[in-house]
Amino acid sequence: MQFKTNIDKMFDLQYSFFASNNEMSKRFQALGEENIKEVLTRKIEGLNTIEKQILSLYYVDELTIEEVGGVLDIDSIESIGILINTIRKIEYLIIEELKTYEFKVKT
């Protein structure tokens, strides 16, 4: 199965997360939108199959959580749990990568 992901929607979600963390926000902004999308794409590619499927169904196909569960033959509680954990996983992976970059950020 080919997985597709709407990077722009995921970028918007990640941007709102990082905007709430002052130091990470500065690093996130310093890296620039195109580079962040590249990092985000790499992190999504590293996810397992079910995580990729849920992201694709929810963000690209714009299915409801109930519909995602129906497609994957899991209940909606499990669908939302996997989605939330996947988003948190991506946030963690991006934070870890941002920590490795050297930035000269004005305070």
pLDDT by residue for the chain (107 residues), tens only, comes to 445 556 666 666 666 665 555 666 676 677 776 777 788 888 889 999 999 999 989 988 889 999 999 999 999 999 999 999 998 998 888 888 877 776 554 44
Helix, strand counts (H, E) of the chain: 6, 0
pTM: 0.73
Query: Rounded CA gap, 53 and 96, in Å?
Result: 24
Domain boundaries, the chain: 7-100
Angle at Cα 101 formed by Cα 4 and Cα 22, nearest 5°? Answer: 85
